[in-house]
Copies of this chain bind each other. A is one copy, B any other.
Amino acid sequence: MRKKVTIKDVARAVGVTPTTVSNVLNGTNRISDETRRRVLQAVEELQYTPNMSARALVKRRTYTIGLFIPASPRVLSDSYFAEALRGMTEVALQYGYVVSIIYSDGLSDSVRQRIDGLVLTELKNNDEYVQYFKRIRMPFVALGRGGDPMLRDYVISDTNRGIREAINHVYRLGHRRMGYLLGPLGYEYVCERYRIFRCMHAELGLSLDRRLCATGENSREGGALAIHAILTRGVRPTAIFASTDIMALGAIEYLHERGLRVPDDMSVIGFDDADFSKYVRPSITTVHHDIYRAGREAASMLIAKLDGREYKCPVILPVRFVPRESTSTISLDNQ
């Protein structure tokens, strides 16, 4: 194992002290152009890279940011997290940071002091973790809405626009009796999407039949159960929105089992544009948002915050409505 080259080595090579080398590298003090040039050259020749542990020790920073994953067995499997992670990692790299995964159930003192800040996701209405991280003064930014109305440091999708486009599309197809499948009410994104849905729905001059709305887990089973609940009430929407694509999928499967065809007997609209949404038959009409991009923005924001730079605060990312096979014009016998 070749000995690691340290700041002293480059200092010696140039004939200056470590202080000087450090100064040219960090740009703290004024250094003459001549010296700077020679130091930089030596750094290049010796292939010097500062030891992160040493730097971390004195700066009291780890140059590591975390993606926080709330307790939930399979949540990372969702490509949601994978995409966010990819985006975060890419920008982190540019700033000399590295990203780690932090699971809520592994959140000990030792891991806490190994990160400078966190990107939080899947926030609840009054998120306990938000409270917690505020209390221990761990810097964070949020990916998606929720947690606390006072929070300003978040990046979200333009849900408003997405749902508006979706509902307009469905309206134009002739649908008037729309239903809604809600995910767990504790999550802010569930509430927000529903809120916007109701709002847009009202703007179209329609009045919402509460019997056409039901709630369930955010899963295929949850979607199936929710649509089941609605159907057993003896009512039937011609189009149904779901909080997420996975619930939409469950609903579609359930309807299929019951001999109801999608979209002929009922149109179904999801949200998220999950991987499978374009694979399945019928493919799912949904709202696409770019989680990879959101991950990038969140990391940028967090690092700017950590490094004490300016950053513009709520970042709102564009979405794209994606009409697919699960929606169609209303059929006559459904009128």
Q: By the criterion CB–CB under 8 Å, are A85 and B110 in contact?
A: no
Name the interface residues of A220-263: CB closer than 8 Å to any CB of B: 220, 249
Interface residues on A, range: 35 or more
Q: By the criterion CB–CB under 8 Å, are A64 and B109 in contact?
A: no
A268 to B108, CA, bound (A): 47
Q: By the criterion CB–CB under 8 Å, are B51 and A57 in contact?
A: yes
Interface string of A94-112 (1 = CB under 8 A from B): 0010111101001011110
B residues within 8 A CB of A52? 62, 110, 113-114
Say yes or no: is A150 at the interface (Cβ < 8 Å to chain B): no
Name the interface residues of A61-117: CB closer than 8 Å to any CB of B: 62, 64, 74, 76-79, 81-83, 85-86, 89-90, 93, 96, 98-101, 103, 106, 108-111, 113-114
A279 to B220, CA, bound (A): 10
A91 → chain B closest CB, angstroms = 10
Most chain B CB within 10 A, of A74, A101, A276, is at: A101
A64 to B275, CA, bound (A): 31
B residues within 8 A CB of A106? 89-90, 93
A204 → chain B closest CB, angstroms = 32
Say yes or no: is A54 at the interface (Cβ < 8 Å to chain B): yes
B residues within 8 A CB of A62? 52-53
Say yes or no: is A19 at the interface (Cβ < 8 Å to chain B): no
Nearest B residue to A55, CB-CB: B53
Say yes or no: is A49 at the interface (Cβ < 8 Å to chain B): yes
Say yes or no: is A47 at the interface (Cβ < 8 Å to chain B): yes
Q: Which of B57, B90, B103 contacts A53 (CB 8 A)?
A: B57
B residues within 8 A CB of A89? 101, 103, 106
Q: By the criterion CB–CB under 8 Å, are A109 and B49 in contact?
A: yes
A18 → chain B closest CB, angstroms = 15
Given A52-B113, A79-B79, check contact A85 B57 (CB 8 Å).
no
A259 → chain B closest CB, angstroms = 15
B residues within 8 A CB of A101? 85-86, 89, 99
A285 → chain B closest CB, angstroms = 16
A115 → chain B closest CB, angstroms = 8
A250 → chain B closest CB, angstroms = 10
Say yes or no: is A31 at the interface (Cβ < 8 Å to chain B): no
Say yes or no: is A332 at the interface (Cβ < 8 Å to chain B): no
A160 → chain B closest CB, angstroms = 26
Known contacts A77-B275, A79-B82, A99-B101; can you find 5 more A-B pairs with CB under 8 A?
A76-B83, A90-B106, A93-B106, A220-B279, A275-B275
